[in-house]
Amino acid sequence: MGLRILLTEHLSPLGAALLKGFEAQSLPVVTADAQEAESLSLLCEQLQPTVIVHLAQGPGEASLPVAQALAHFCQTGNSVLIYLSSHEVFGMAQQSSARTEMDIPEPDTAEGRGILMVEQSLSVCEKKIVLRLPWLLDIPGGLLDRLCHTLIYMPECVVSDSWRGSPVLIEDVVRILSAMVQQVLCGAQNWGYFHLHASDQCSEAELADHVARVLQKAGYEVSPIFLGPLSQRFIMSNGWIRGHRCTNNFGFQYRSWRQGIKSWVQEWLGAEVAAGRLVPAASNAAGTALPQE
């Protein structure tokens, strides 16, 4: 069997990072260009992949036919399905404390209910891994991007200390999926639900404070941080999930949410300077933002 891994989406930042990570480890991977259920089913029949890594596109309900088709193929074709889900399957009330793989999801948003529908549609597939993700910090336009922009360019940064999460970077998703795929290809029989998270947790306010300190150490002035109502939050929901199955079943070591943020912020600053939106910190007593039109 020449092609062993089918990655159903590779154009998003997460999909592109997974493709690059698989290729860097010489894992045999092929990508799918079509996202329709019928087209993916035909591709699966043609390639007969050992593992299918599925990144759903769009709302949960919209991606339901594709998930059902992949689950049916994996069950009849004896392939393994890895589905990237989300902490959003747990409702706001549930996430007042950390959720583990043993907790039954009770979503209270349309997005959460759609994602849970997709998870439930995979029940026909015995050999499946459902990996629920927390906040992803470095998605373009995501938490880190918006925090840095606000702290550098806006007069104030209003955050909440109510939402809590255990956020990770995209590279952590690549690490756990690489470990899962490699061990599955070697015969591991670890199925079910898994939670990816950091080794510790933080509030939105703690995250903003940490990013501000990194920016200040790089020589830049930052806007003052204030606590405000939830309506002004950067984060749309709690993302506080826990669990030990990634470690117990695949030997994955969780990292602190702080690890990797400094490097990301430095890259963000470099991109802003290169684009002419920011004065390099080395040229001033303190780095400043250029006036924006």
Q: Tokens standing for 66?
A: 């594709």
Domain assignment of residue 31, yes or no = yes
Helix (H, G, I), strand (E, B) or coil at 132: strand
Domain assignment of residue 290, yes or no = no
Q: Any alpha helices (H) in 141-169, and if so which ranges?
A: 143-153
Q: Tokens standing for 226?
A: 């204030």
Domain assignment of residue 188, yes or no = yes
Of the candidates 130, 242, 118, 255, the residue with the CA atom closest to the CA atom of residue 180: 130
Tokens 């993302």 belong to residue: 239
Quote the pLDDT of residue 139. 92
Quote the pLDDT of residue 1. 46
> Domain tally for the chain?
1
Domain assignment of residue 55, yes or no = yes
Domain assignment of residue 283, yes or no = no
Residue 131 phi, psi dihedral angles, 5° rounding: -105, 110
Domain assignment of residue 261, yes or no = no
Contacts of 282 (CB under 8 A, 6+ apart): 219
> Within 10 A of 80 (CB to CB), how many other CB atoms are there?
24
pLDDT digits (tens, 9 = 90+) for 34-68: 678 888 889 999 999 999 999 876 666 568 899 99
Quote the pLDDT of residue 163. 80
The tens-digit pLDDT sequence of the chain (293 residues) is: 456 899 998 989 999 999 999 999 999 999 987 678 888 889 999 999 999 999 876 666 568 899 999 999 999 888 999 999 999 999 888 877 889 999 999 999 888 999 999 999 999 999 999 999 999 999 999 999 999 999 999 999 999 888 889 999 999 999 999 999 999 999 999 999 999 999 999 999 999 999 999 999 999 999 999 998 766 577 767 788 999 999 999 999 999 999 999 999 999 999 999 999 999 987 554 566 655 54
Q: Tokens standing for 62?
A: 């919209």
Distance separating alpha carbons of residues 113 and 96, to the nearest angstrom = 18
DSSP 196-230: ---SS-EEHHHHHHHHHHHHHHTTB----EEE--G
- What is the per-residue burial (b if ≥16 Cβ within 10 Å, else e) of 152-179? beeeebbbbeebbbbbbbbebbbbbbbb
Domain assignment of residue 93, yes or no = yes
> Within 10 A of 191 (CB to CB), how many other CB atoms are there?
16
Distance separating alpha carbons of residues 277 and 293, to the nearest angstrom = 10
Quote the pLDDT of residue 228. 86
**Which CATH number characterizes residue 42's domain?**
3.40.50.720
Quote the pLDDT of residue 61. 59
Domain assignment of residue 147, yes or no = no
Quote the pLDDT of residue 293. 45
Quote the pLDDT of residue 37. 85
> Within 10 A of 1 (CB to CB), how many other CB atoms are there?
8
26: containing domain: 5-136+167-200+239-250
Quote the pLDDT of residue 160. 86
How many degrees, rounded to 5, is the angle at CA 144 between CA 140 and CA 147?
120
